[in-house]
Structure 1
Amino acid sequence: MTLLAHDRYVDEIAHQVGQLRAVVTSGADLSATVPTCPDWRLEQLVRHMGGALRWVDLLVRTRGRENIPTEQVPEYDGPEPGCAPAVLDAWLAESGRLVVEALREAGPDAEVWAWAGVATSGFWARRMAHEITVHRADATLAAGLPYDVAPDIAADALDEWLELVEWVQRNAPHEAAKELRGPARSIHLHATDTAPDLNAEWLVELAEDGVHWRHGHEKATVALRGPLTSVLLAFYRRLPLDSLELEVLGERELLEFWLEKTTFG
């Protein structure tokens, strides 16, 4: 599949860090439970994201050839729990600055350890752009704030998620992913609010030999239709399927089965 430019991913990381910082400084209750990640408080989600950015910064900056334990990442955990929002915001800002600088300096082709796909800095630029895009949705839902995302990023986030599901099913010993194999069935995702050149339709086929997917408008066992951002959030299990802006046509049980079995990301 065609990727976005490396600089586009890095720019988006910088943008999303700014947007997440705005949640931190909005006056939101940082002790509130995150509805879409109920094991976390909002402060914990922010710390998770900032720590992940610092971990990727160290991987890329050192051209790490193997995984780096988080215990070795400077300031991975951030400031003292329960600190003032301004202190947490400053740490998050620095986390974003570090990883953006490291990724810009490395470019897309530097060899860096990665847990899936091609082991390059480009993998991490794309992965972190989408990681923070989705976790910012978690944060805005917890804070009761509006959420939007650029169409090219939303569409590419869906591409990347399907690629990761495909990779995990073929390469990782994950029982839930293995259960996606079976009699031929299919899922159609259809964004209803985008320009045709964005190619924001997907057909996901579940077969005996694994998951396959492609862009296109085709009949399927079940279809999920709605605005692109809503389709993205629903497919990432951040928005209920019965939300008013979404439409499910066909065998809803298959879509629910997919969402249940793709919780490893």
Structure 2
Amino acid sequence: MEFSRLLDCLAADFARLRAVSATDPTAGVPTCPGWTVADLTRHVGEVYLHKTQAIREGAEPDPWPPRELAKEDPIALLDRAYADLRHEFATHGPKDPAGSWYTPDPTVGFWIRRMAQETVIHRIDAELAAGEPIAEIPADLAVDGVDELLKVFVAYGVAEWGDYFTGVLAESPGRTYLVRADEAAWRVSTGPGLFRVEDGAGTGPADVTVSGPSAAVLRRLWNREEADATSPVTVVGAPEAVEELHRCIVVATQ
């Protein structure tokens, strides 16, 4: 996606998140057990400020968050943090360096993409907590989100921090997954210490196929579906193979 498009999506999803979060700060967030909407709002504000500092200082701040942020009203914190983040995005080019845990792309552009995806997922959290309809997720943003999740979170996570995935992949017999989101497709191969993602459907059978509309696939992989709703996503494969993919995603996104 073009960075200008990602910034537009970020703005739209921030506005929706901000509006929904103000309706009932005490409501529980079903997709983030133990959190209220106020906790969710504070978390997003803290994330925005963390990335702001990563851009300004060229390194991710640690430890984080500062204690004084806990005293700030969650909505006020969210507003201030978003304004600071957008200022950094406006005054830096996407190729400018920034502190990042993702060593292949330590740039401002990485954080533009990451914050657009972070915000759409958390505005879904807020909508589910408030009992609000889920606003449309643009297809291009959803496809990009699936791509980011599989490659940046899981594949990179397994390659860099493989010990965290030992309990999931150490006994893997070696499996193939086909993920389809509208016209986009990814072929995933797993095994002990392995999570490889290739663009396209590839050839040959897959142990598991996950397919559906792009927004629905994004929500399914991020575990952001309504508990009592019928999913438009089709999952075909043995339960233990499906569980392997799910557990890899959970570990990568903790």
Normalising by structure 2, report the TM-score: 0.86
Q: What is the rounded CA distance, in whole Å, between the counterparts of 2:231 and 2:49 in structure 1?
A: 38
CA contact (8 A) 1:189 1:225 kept: yes
Q: Which runs of 4+ in 1 moved over 4 A?
A: none
Whether 1:58 aligns to 2:53 is yes
Give the TM-score normalised by structure 1: 0.83
The equivalent of 2:142 in structure 1 is 154
Tell me the residue number matched to 2:92: 106
Q: Is the counterpart of residue 207 in structure 1 residue 204 in structure 2?
A: no
Runs (5+) with no aligned partner, structure 1: 81-87
Quick one: which of 228, 234, 240 aligns to 1:253? 240
The one-letter amino acid paired with 1:132 is T
By how many angstroms is 1:209 displaced?
5.4
In structure 1, what is the Cα distance between the partners aligned to 2:71 and 2:88? 19
Deviation at 1:71, TM superposition (A): 4.3
2:179 corresponds in structure 1 to 189
SS across alignment from 2:99: coil
Question: C-alpha deviations, 1:134-188, integer Å up to 9, x for none?
Answer: 1111111111112221111111111111112111111125423673353321122
Structure with more helix by fraction = 2
- Distance across 1 between alignment mates of 2:195 and 2:248: 12
CA distance in 2, matches of 1:174, 1:136: 32
- 1:6 to 1:139, Cα distance in 2 relative to 1, 3 A: same
Q: Choose which of 182, 191, 215 in structure 2 pairs with 1:229.
A: 215
Alpha-carbon contact 1:34-1:142 (below 8 Å) kept = yes
The CA deviation at 1:212 is: 1.1
Name the counterpart of 1:79: 72
Q: CA RMSD in A?
A: 2.4
Q: Are the counterparts in 2 of residues 103 and 121 from structure 1 also a CA contact under 8 Å?
A: yes
Assess, with a 3 A threshold, how the Cα gap between structure 1 residues 71 and 237 changes in structure 2: closer, same or farther: closer
SS in 1 for 2:250: coil
Secondary structure in 1 matching 2:94: coil
State which of 11, 18, 22 in structure 2 corresponds to 1:21.
Answer: 18
In 2, Cα distance between equivalents of 1:63 and 1:30: 32
In structure 2, relative to structure 1, the CA distance for the partners of 1:177 and 1:160 (3 Å cut) is farther
Match of 2:224 among 234, 238, 246: 238
In the alignment, residue 64 of structure 2 is paired with which amino acid?
A: T
Change (3 A) 1:66 1:139: closer
Provide the rounded CA distance (Å) in 2 between the counterparts of 1:246 and 1:263.
Answer: 19
Q: Which runs of 5+ in 2 are unaligned?
A: none
